[in-house]
Amino acid sequence: MKIVNVVGARPNFMKMAPLIEAMRAYPFICPLLVHTGQHYDANMSKDFFEDLGLPMPDVSLEVGSGSHAEQTARIMVEFEKVLLRERPDLTLVVGDVNSTIACALTSVKLGIPVAHVEAGLRSYDRTMPEEVNRVLTDAISDFLFTTERGAEVNLRREGISEDRIFFVGNVMIDSLLKHTRQAESSTVLEDLNLAPRGYALMTLHRPSNVDDRSSLERVLLAIASIQVRLPVVWPVHPRTRAKLAECGLGERQGPPAKGNLGLRMVEPQGYLNFLRLMENARLVLTDSGGIQEETTVLGVPCLTMRENTERPVTLEVGPNVLVGTDTGTIVREAMRVLDGQARPGTRPELWDGKAASRIVDILVARLGN
């Protein structure tokens, strides 16, 4: 059984690593790994492969950046060549990036079944490119593997038949639980002179936050207040760093004023370094979907700087709070956490480190013959 597995952006790597490992438990499965090159920065790609124990890709498309249309089109053209050469039995895609929809659509056009891992998540905000990718990928996939119960409700509402939907848990958490102990060997806290629970961690990369100067300024104003209480560590995404320079906001990374602990802008971190930063943070501020899930399992308070989330289970049972980009709201909720009033949280159903095995078992049962 030949399965082509697609990765393109950093969140895909954490989801794919346990799937490849689970496939290797079956000697008759031939897993091929295709990296589209949607993210090509070494810290956002190569380092993650090493940290996660992912094999080097069998095929690298190296499509690079571009507009959504350009990137999606280039992936489709190059991926079609791979499919025609390899003739796989299945294409497996994860998440909601441009690589996901591009490779799913190319496969379906050639009559190759598609499995979508992390199906059914919905923010119901079509201004988000990821939302469009999610909806379209789900519509054409043959196997839809969900991370939470609400995702099945979303899919059935959209007319997806029940026999295509499988609630399996969260492969992102498979990687998290496997590597938590390994991350303890990271020296990133010592390297950055940070004490456990003595700092906040921030990530910011979505175009709605980074490309909109007013949104970016509101977030930075909030951080200016929070960093008076404790340092804020910010691994800066390359797109974000470029936008800061373009908007003339880069000077905010300067030395802190007296009595101000400061904003520490650092380079993007590898998986193990970032995991250690995240699990030891007093507070995480983010606009990332995956980090909402990871902080839920780690029990770390998370403020999501978005107006909506496609991962509602993190709000229902986790320590996640939607704060948007309003300066006052971000500061108010951050101070609640720092004053010991963080929301308690529990681990969602089936987020137990075994999602990948469930997925591969289902594929074997359905396609093995």
Q: Which residues participate in catalysis according to the annotation?
A: 205
Amino acid sitting at position 32: L
Residue 235, SS3 per DSSP: strand
**Interior angle at CA 199, CA 196 and CA 200, nearest 5:** 125
Full DSSP string of 117-151 = EEET-----TTSHHHHHHHHHHHH-SEEEESSHHH
Residues 324 and 306: beta-carbon distance below 8 Å = yes
- What's the token pair of residue 293? 């899930």
- What's the token pair of residue 42? 């070494």
Please state, in angstroms and rounded to a whole number, the distance separating the CA atoms of residues 300 and 342.
Answer: 9
**Interior angle at CA 279, CA 337 and CA 326, nearest 5:** 40
Please state, in angstroms and rounded to a whole number, the distance separating the CA atoms of residues 163 and 170.
Answer: 19
Amino acid sitting at position 182: Q
**Sign of the alpha-carbon dihedral angle for 162, 19, 285, 338:** positive
Decide: residue 266, CB within 10 A, 0-12 exposed, 13-18 middle, 19+ buried: middle
Say which residue the tokens 């895909």 belong to: 12
Residues 10 and 39: beta-carbon distance below 8 Å = yes
DSSP category for residue 27: T
